[in-house]
Amino acid sequence: MLIVERLQEFIRGRNLTYLKNYVIEFECHKTNEFEVCPKCATKSYKVHDRVFVHIKDIPIRNKLIFLKIKKRRFKCPSCKSVFREPIPGIKKGFKTTQRFRSHIRWCASNFSDLKRVTKQLQCSSWLVYTAFYEQLKLENKKWQNEWSSTIGVDEHSLVFIQI
Protein backbone atom coordinates (compact mmCIF):
# COMPACT_ATOMS: atom_id res chain seq x y z
CA MET A 1 0.00 0.00 0.00
CA LEU A 2 2.80 2.40 0.84
CA ILE A 3 4.38 1.78 -2.55
CA VAL A 4 1.15 2.78 -4.32
CA GLU A 5 0.99 6.05 -2.42
CA ARG A 6 4.64 6.80 -3.02
CA LEU A 7 4.37 6.15 -6.74
CA GLN A 8 1.32 8.38 -7.02
CA GLU A 9 3.04 11.06 -5.01
CA PHE A 10 6.13 11.14 -7.20
CA ILE A 11 4.73 10.43 -10.62
CA ARG A 12 2.80 13.16 -12.41
CA GLY A 13 1.80 13.98 -15.95
CA ARG A 14 0.51 10.55 -16.84
CA ASN A 15 -0.57 9.97 -20.42
CA LEU A 16 -2.69 6.93 -21.11
CA THR A 17 -1.87 5.00 -24.24
CA TYR A 18 -3.96 2.08 -25.41
CA LEU A 19 -1.42 -0.11 -27.20
CA LYS A 20 -3.65 -3.11 -27.73
CA ASN A 21 -6.93 -4.24 -26.37
CA TYR A 22 -5.32 -5.72 -23.31
CA VAL A 23 -2.33 -3.44 -22.65
CA ILE A 24 -2.33 0.03 -21.11
CA GLU A 25 0.78 2.13 -20.80
CA PHE A 26 1.19 5.06 -18.44
CA GLU A 27 3.80 7.63 -19.31
CA CYS A 28 5.34 8.91 -16.08
CA HIS A 29 8.14 11.04 -14.70
CA LYS A 30 9.34 12.24 -11.32
CA THR A 31 8.93 15.91 -10.50
CA ASN A 32 11.46 16.63 -7.78
CA GLU A 33 14.15 19.20 -8.62
CA PHE A 34 17.19 17.33 -7.38
CA GLU A 35 18.54 13.90 -6.51
CA VAL A 36 21.20 12.91 -4.02
CA CYS A 37 24.38 11.33 -5.36
CA PRO A 38 24.59 7.68 -4.20
CA LYS A 39 28.40 7.93 -3.95
CA CYS A 40 29.00 11.15 -2.01
CA ALA A 41 25.48 12.24 -0.90
CA THR A 42 25.73 15.67 -2.59
CA LYS A 43 22.57 17.23 -4.00
CA SER A 44 22.57 17.34 -7.78
CA TYR A 45 20.31 19.66 -9.79
CA LYS A 46 22.03 19.10 -13.13
CA VAL A 47 20.24 16.71 -15.47
CA HIS A 48 22.74 14.89 -17.67
CA ASP A 49 20.23 13.18 -19.98
CA ARG A 50 16.98 11.22 -19.99
CA VAL A 51 16.14 7.62 -20.79
CA PHE A 52 12.86 5.73 -21.06
CA VAL A 53 12.37 2.53 -19.06
CA HIS A 54 9.41 0.16 -19.33
CA ILE A 55 8.25 -1.26 -16.01
CA LYS A 56 5.49 -3.81 -15.58
CA ASP A 57 2.89 -3.04 -12.93
CA ILE A 58 -0.09 -5.00 -11.61
CA PRO A 59 -3.01 -5.53 -14.02
CA ILE A 60 -6.18 -3.45 -13.82
CA ARG A 61 -9.38 -5.22 -14.91
CA ASN A 62 -7.32 -7.93 -16.62
CA LYS A 63 -5.39 -5.40 -18.70
CA LEU A 64 -1.60 -5.50 -18.54
CA ILE A 65 -0.16 -2.28 -17.19
CA PHE A 66 3.20 -0.87 -18.17
CA LEU A 67 4.79 2.27 -16.78
CA LYS A 68 6.84 4.08 -19.38
CA ILE A 69 9.02 6.14 -17.09
CA LYS A 70 11.18 8.98 -18.36
CA LYS A 71 14.11 8.66 -15.98
CA ARG A 72 16.62 11.45 -15.60
CA ARG A 73 20.32 10.87 -15.19
CA PHE A 74 21.95 13.43 -12.95
CA LYS A 75 25.57 14.54 -12.86
CA CYS A 76 27.04 15.05 -9.42
CA PRO A 77 28.71 18.50 -9.03
CA SER A 78 31.16 17.11 -6.48
CA CYS A 79 32.41 13.70 -7.68
CA LYS A 80 31.23 14.14 -11.33
CA SER A 81 29.60 10.73 -11.41
CA VAL A 82 26.44 10.22 -13.48
CA PHE A 83 23.57 8.35 -11.86
CA ARG A 84 19.93 7.52 -12.59
CA GLU A 85 17.22 8.83 -10.30
CA PRO A 86 15.72 6.11 -8.11
CA ILE A 87 11.97 5.44 -8.34
CA PRO A 88 10.20 4.48 -5.10
CA GLY A 89 8.58 1.07 -5.40
CA ILE A 90 10.96 -0.14 -8.12
CA LYS A 91 14.25 -1.73 -7.14
CA LYS A 92 17.36 -0.75 -9.06
CA GLY A 93 17.72 -2.83 -12.24
CA PHE A 94 14.26 -4.43 -11.93
CA LYS A 95 11.73 -4.40 -14.79
CA THR A 96 8.73 -4.83 -12.50
CA THR A 97 7.31 -2.81 -9.60
CA GLN A 98 7.45 -4.15 -6.08
CA ARG A 99 3.65 -4.07 -6.20
CA PHE A 100 3.66 -6.43 -9.22
CA ARG A 101 6.05 -8.82 -7.46
CA SER A 102 3.81 -8.79 -4.42
CA HIS A 103 0.84 -9.53 -6.69
CA ILE A 104 2.71 -12.53 -8.13
CA ARG A 105 3.10 -13.84 -4.60
CA TRP A 106 -0.65 -13.47 -4.01
CA CYS A 107 -1.51 -15.21 -7.30
CA ALA A 108 0.97 -18.01 -6.68
CA SER A 109 -0.66 -18.64 -3.30
CA ASN A 110 -4.24 -18.53 -4.55
CA PHE A 111 -4.19 -20.03 -8.05
CA SER A 112 -4.28 -23.79 -8.43
CA ASP A 113 -1.02 -23.98 -10.41
CA LEU A 114 1.85 -21.75 -11.49
CA LYS A 115 1.02 -22.09 -15.19
CA ARG A 116 -2.22 -20.20 -14.57
CA VAL A 117 -0.23 -17.45 -12.82
CA THR A 118 2.14 -17.04 -15.78
CA LYS A 119 -0.82 -16.96 -18.17
CA GLN A 120 -2.79 -14.46 -16.10
CA LEU A 121 0.13 -12.10 -15.53
CA GLN A 122 1.84 -12.68 -18.91
CA CYS A 123 5.22 -13.33 -17.35
CA SER A 124 7.75 -16.13 -17.26
CA SER A 125 7.66 -19.00 -14.80
CA TRP A 126 11.18 -17.90 -13.75
CA LEU A 127 9.79 -14.51 -12.65
CA VAL A 128 6.91 -16.16 -10.79
CA TYR A 129 9.30 -18.48 -8.98
CA THR A 130 11.81 -15.72 -8.16
CA ALA A 131 9.25 -13.13 -7.05
CA PHE A 132 7.27 -15.67 -5.02
CA TYR A 133 10.25 -16.73 -2.91
CA GLU A 134 11.57 -13.17 -2.69
CA GLN A 135 8.21 -12.00 -1.31
CA LEU A 136 8.04 -14.91 1.13
CA LYS A 137 11.48 -13.92 2.41
CA LEU A 138 10.38 -10.29 2.81
CA GLU A 139 7.23 -11.31 4.68
CA ASN A 140 9.24 -13.62 6.89
CA LYS A 141 11.73 -10.84 7.67
CA LYS A 142 8.88 -8.42 8.41
CA TRP A 143 7.21 -10.96 10.63
CA GLN A 144 10.45 -11.54 12.55
CA ASN A 145 10.96 -7.79 13.02
CA GLU A 146 7.40 -7.35 14.27
CA TRP A 147 7.90 -10.24 16.65
CA SER A 148 11.08 -8.85 18.15
CA SER A 149 9.84 -5.24 18.43
CA THR A 150 6.35 -5.86 19.78
CA ILE A 151 7.10 -8.66 22.19
CA GLY A 152 9.94 -7.85 24.52
CA VAL A 153 10.41 -11.32 25.87
CA ASP A 154 13.56 -12.15 27.75
CA GLU A 155 15.57 -14.45 25.48
CA HIS A 156 16.21 -16.93 28.26
CA SER A 157 12.56 -17.49 28.98
CA LEU A 158 11.55 -18.06 25.34
CA VAL A 159 11.39 -21.69 24.28
CA PHE A 160 10.46 -22.90 20.79
CA ILE A 161 8.94 -26.34 20.58
CA GLN A 162 9.03 -28.10 17.24
CA ILE A 163 6.22 -30.56 16.59
Choices 6-14, 42-50, 88-96, 144-152 (CB under 5 A): range interacting with Zn ion: 42-50
Task: Select the residue interacting with Zn ion from 40, 51, 82, 136 (CB under 5 A).
Answer: 40
Beta bridge partners of 40: none
Q: Does the protein bind Zn ion through residue 79 (CB under 5 A)?
A: yes
Alpha helix ranges (H) inside 84-163? 98-110, 114-121, 125-150
- The site that binds Zn ion (CB under 5 A) totals a number of residues, namely 7
Q: Does the protein bind Zn ion through residue 82 (CB under 5 A)?
A: no
Residue closer to Zn ion (CB basis): 40 or 51 = 40
In the complex, the smallest distance separating the C-beta of residue 69 from Zn ion, rounded to whole angstroms, is: 23
Choices 23-31, 33-41, 92-100, 143-151 (CB under 5 A): range interacting with Zn ion: 33-41
CA distances from 91 to 81, 95, 162 (A): 20, 8, 36
Choices 28-36, 63-71, 74-82, 126-134 (CB under 5 A): range interacting with Zn ion: 74-82
Separation between Cα atoms, residue 144 and residue 133, nearest integer Å = 16
The contacts found for 113-122 with CB under 8 angstroms, 24 or more apart, are 120/59, 121/59, 122/64
The phi and psi torsions of 162 (rounded to 5 degrees) equal -95, 130
Residues that bind Zn ion (CB under 5 A): 37, 39-40, 42, 76, 78-79
